[in-house]
A and B are shown apart, each in its own frame.
Chain A
Amino acid sequence: MAVRTYYTREHEWVRIEDGVAVCGITDYAQTQLGDVVYVELPEVGAEIARDGEAAVVESTKAASDVYAPVTGTIVAVNDRLEESPDLVNESAEDQGWFFRMEIGDEGELDELMDEEGYQAFVEELD
Chain B
Amino acid sequence: MTGNSHDTVSGDLGLSIEEPLIFEQDSPGAVGVDWPEADAGADRLGGLARSGPVGLPSLAEPTVVRHYTRLSQKNYGIDTGLFPLGSCTMKHNPRLNERMARLPGFADIHPLQPESTVQGALALCREVQRWLSVLTGMPGVALTPGAGAHGELCGMMAIRAALDAGGAANADRRRVLVPDSAHGTNPATAAALGFEVVSIPEDERGRVDPGRFEALAGEGGVAAVMLTNPNTCGVFENDIRRIADAVHAAGGYFYCDGANFNAIVGRVRPGDLGVDAMHINLHKTFSTPHGGGGPGSGPVVFSDALAPYAPVPRIVGEDGALRLEEANGEAFGRMKAFHGQMGMFVRALAYMMSHGADGLRQVSGDAVLNANYLLRRLEDVYSAPFAHAGPAMHEALFDDRALRDTGVSTLDIAKAMIDEGLHPMTVYFPLVVHGAMLVEPTETETRASLDRFIAIMRGLAERAKNGAPLTEAPFHAPRRRLDETQAARKPVLRWQAGE
Residues of B near A90 (CB, < 8 A) are none
Query: In the complex the two chains form, what is the Cα distance from A109 to B395 in whole Å?
Result: 50
Residues of A near B489 (CB, < 8 A) are 35, 37-38, 85-86
Which B318-346 residues sit within 8 Å CB-CB of chain A?
none
Q: Tell me whether A32 is interfacial, beta carbon within 8 Å.
A: no
Which A27-49 residues sit within 8 Å CB-CB of chain B?
35, 37-38
Chain B's nearest CB lies how many Å from the CB of A64? 15
Q: What residue in chain A is nearest B484 (Cβ atoms)?
A: A60
Query: In the complex the two chains form, what is the Cα distance from A85 to B485 in whole Å?
Result: 11
Residues of B near A58 (CB, < 8 A) are 488
- Contact mask for chain B residues 470-499; partner A; CB cutoff 8 A; 1 contact, 0 none: 000000000000001101110000000000
Query: In the complex the two chains form, what is the Cα distance from A112 to B455 in whole Å?
Result: 54
Residues of B near A86 (CB, < 8 A) are 489
- Contact mask for chain A residues 80-102; partner B; CB cutoff 8 A; 1 contact, 0 none: 00000110000000000000000
Residues of A near B487 (CB, < 8 A) are 60
Which A44-60 residues sit within 8 Å CB-CB of chain B?
58, 60
The total of chain A residues at the interface (CB under 8 A) is 7
Query: In the complex the two chains form, what is the Cα distance from A60 to B487 in whole Å?
Result: 9
Name the residue among A37, A85, A86 with the largest chain B CB count within 10 angstroms: A37
Query: In the complex the two chains form, what is the Cα distance from A60 to B411 in whole Å?
Result: 15
Residues of A near B488 (CB, < 8 A) are 37-38, 58, 60
Query: In the complex the two chains form, what is the Cα distance from A107 to B81 in whole Å?
Result: 64
Binding site of B, secondary structure by majority: helix, strand, loop or mixed? Answer: helix
Residues of B near A38 (CB, < 8 A) are 488-489
Residues of B near A60 (CB, < 8 A) are 484-485, 487-488
Chain B's nearest CB lies how many Å from the CB of A99? 20
Residues of A near B484 (CB, < 8 A) are 60
The number of chain B residues touching the other chain, given as a range, is under 10
Query: In the complex the two chains form, what is the Cα distance from A60 to B484 in whole Å?
Result: 7
- Contact mask for chain A residues 53-81; partner B; CB cutoff 8 A; 1 contact, 0 none: 00000101000000000000000000000
Residues of B near A37 (CB, < 8 A) are 485, 488-489
Query: In the complex the two chains form, what is the Cα distance from A82 to B443 in whole Å?
Result: 49
Q: What residue in chain B is nearest A60 (Cβ atoms)?
A: B484
Query: In the complex the two chains form, what is the Cα distance from A12 to B489 in whole Å?
Result: 22
Q: What residue in chain A is nearest B428 (Cβ atoms)?
A: A61
Query: In the complex the two chains form, what is the Cα distance from A58 to B488 in whole Å?
Result: 9
Which B431-486 residues sit within 8 Å CB-CB of chain A?
484-485
Chain A's nearest CB lies how many Å from the CB of B431? 11
Q: What residue in chain B is nearest A37 (Cβ atoms)?
A: B488
Q: What residue in chain B is nearest A35 (Cβ atoms)?
A: B485
Q: What residue in chain B is nearest A84 (Cβ atoms)?
A: B489
Query: In the complex the two chains form, what is the Cα distance from A86 to B486 in whole Å?
Result: 10
Residues of B near A35 (CB, < 8 A) are 485, 489
Chain B's nearest CB lies how many Å from the CB of A43? 23
Chain B's nearest CB lies how many Å from the CB of A36? 8
Chain A's nearest CB lies how many Å from the CB of B191? 14
Query: In the complex the two chains form, what is the Cα distance from A89 to B420 in whole Å?
Result: 35
Query: In the complex the two chains form, what is the Cα distance from A58 to B484 in whole Å?
Result: 13
Chain B's nearest CB lies how many Å from the CB of A61? 8
Chain A's nearest CB lies how many Å from the CB of B215? 27
Query: In the complex the two chains form, what is the Cα distance from A85 to B484 in whole Å?
Result: 14
Query: In the complex the two chains form, what is the Cα distance from A58 to B485 in whole Å?
Result: 11
Chain B's nearest CB lies how many Å from the CB of A119? 24
Query: In the complex the two chains form, what is the Cα distance from A35 to B483 in whole Å?
Result: 11
Query: In the complex the two chains form, what is the Cα distance from A35 to B487 in whole Å?
Result: 12
Query: In the complex the two chains form, what is the Cα distance from A37 to B44 in whole Å?
Result: 49
Chain A's nearest CB lies how many Å from the CB of B409? 13
Query: In the complex the two chains form, what is the Cα distance from A86 to B484 in whole Å?
Result: 14
Query: In the complex the two chains form, what is the Cα distance from A31 to B484 in whole Å?
Result: 17
Chain B's nearest CB lies how many Å from the CB of A31? 14
- Contact mask for chain A residues 1-44; partner B; CB cutoff 8 A; 1 contact, 0 none: 00000000000000000000000000000000001011000000
Query: In the complex the two chains form, what is the Cα distance from A86 to B489 in whole Å?
Result: 9
Residues of A near B485 (CB, < 8 A) are 35, 37, 60
Query: In the complex the two chains form, what is the Cα distance from A38 to B484 in whole Å?
Result: 13
Chain A's nearest CB lies how many Å from the CB of B207? 27
Query: In the complex the two chains form, what is the Cα distance from A86 to B488 in whole Å?
Result: 11
Query: In the complex the two chains form, what is the Cα distance from A37 to B487 in whole Å?
Result: 9
Query: In the complex the two chains form, what is the Cα distance from A66 to B484 in whole Å?
Result: 23
Query: In the complex the two chains form, what is the Cα distance from A83 to B489 in whole Å?
Result: 8
Chain A's nearest CB lies how many Å from the CB of B493? 14
Chain B's nearest CB lies how many Å from the CB of A87? 11
Query: In the complex the two chains form, what is the Cα distance from A4 to B147 in whole Å?
Result: 54
- Contact mask for chain B residues 375-394; partner A; CB cutoff 8 A; 1 contact, 0 none: 00000000000000000000
Which B14-46 residues sit within 8 Å CB-CB of chain A?
none
Chain A's nearest CB lies how many Å from the CB of B483? 9
Query: In the complex the two chains form, what is the Cα distance from A60 to B489 in whole Å?
Result: 9
Query: In the complex the two chains form, what is the Cα distance from A12 to B137 in whole Å?
Result: 52
| New A-B contacts (12) at CB < 8 Å, excluding given A35-B485, A38-B488 | A35-B489, A37-B485, A37-B488, A37-B489, A38-B489, A58-B488, A60-B484, A60-B485, A60-B487, A60-B488, A85-B489, A86-B489
Task: Please list 14 pairs of residues, one from A and one from B, whose beta carbons are closer than 8 Å in the complex, sorted by A's number.
Answer: A35-B485, A35-B489, A37-B485, A37-B488, A37-B489, A38-B488, A38-B489, A58-B488, A60-B484, A60-B485, A60-B487, A60-B488, A85-B489, A86-B489
Residues of B within 8 A of A (CB): 484-485, 487-489
Residues of A within 8 A of B (CB): 35, 37-38, 58, 60, 85-86
